Amino acid sequence: MNNIISSKAKIGNNVRFGNFVTVYDDVEIGDNSTIESYCEIGYSNGREKMSLTIGDNAKIRSHSIIYQGSVIGNNLMTGHHVVIRENMQIGDGFQAGVGSVIMGETVIGNYVKTGSMVEIGQFSKIGNYVWIYLNSYLINDLYPPSDTIIGPEISDYAILGTACIIMPGVKVGRNSIVAAGCVLKDNLPDNQIAVGNPNRIIGPISKIKIPGTDQDAYPWRYRFHRGYPADVVDVWMKEEHEDVSKS
For its own copies, the binding residue among 9, 11, 12, 18 (CB under 8 A) is: 18
User: Does the protein bind its own copies through residue 65 (CB under 8 A)?
Assistant: yes
Query: Alpha-carbon dihedral of residues 50, 55, 56, 58, nearest 10 degrees?
Result: -80
DSSP string of the chain, one letter each residue: ---EE-TT-EE-TT-EE-SS-EE-TTEEE-TT-EE-TT-EEEE--SSS---EEE-TT-EE-TT-EEESS-EE-SS-EE-TT-EE-SS-EE-TT-EE-TT-EE-SS-EE-SS-EE-TT-EE-TT-EE-SS-EE-TT-EE--BSSSS-S-B---EE-TT-EE-TT-EEPTT-EE-TT-EE-TT-EE-S-B-TTEEEETTTTEEEEEGGG-B-TTSSSB--SGGGT--TTS-HHHHHHHHHSPPP--S--
151-190 positions binding its own copies, by CB under 8 A: 159, 161-163, 165, 167, 180-181, 183
Q: Which range binds its own copies by CB under 8 A, 25-33, 98-106, 186-194, 235-243?
A: 98-106
Radius of gyration from C-alpha coordinates of the chain: 19
For its own copies, the binding residue among 14, 89, 197, 245 (CB under 8 A) is: 197
Q: Which range binds its own copies by CB under 8 A, 49-57, 87-95, 192-200, 236-244?
A: 192-200
Q: Nearer to its own copies by C-beta: 65 or 154?
A: 65
User: Does the protein bind its own copies through residue 245 (CB under 8 A)?
Assistant: no
User: Does the protein bind its own copies through residue 146 (CB under 8 A)?
Assistant: yes
Q: What's the closest the beta carbon of residue 223 comes to its own copies, in angstroms?
A: 8
Q: Nearer to its own copies by C-beta: 35 or 134?
A: 134
**Binding residues for its own copies, total number by CB under 8 A:** 58
Query: Binding pattern to its own copies, positions 113-142, x when CB under 8 A?
Result: --xxx-x-----------x-xxx-x-x--x
Q: What's the closest the beta carbon of residue 238 comes to its own copies, in angstroms?
A: 20
Q: Which range binds its own copies by CB under 8 A, 48-56, 80-88, 104-112, 233-241?
A: 80-88
For its own copies, the binding residue among 1, 145, 238, 240 (CB under 8 A) is: 145
For its own copies, the binding residue among 83, 108, 172, 178 (CB under 8 A) is: 83
Parallel, antiparallel, or unpaired for β 192-195 and 200-204? antiparallel
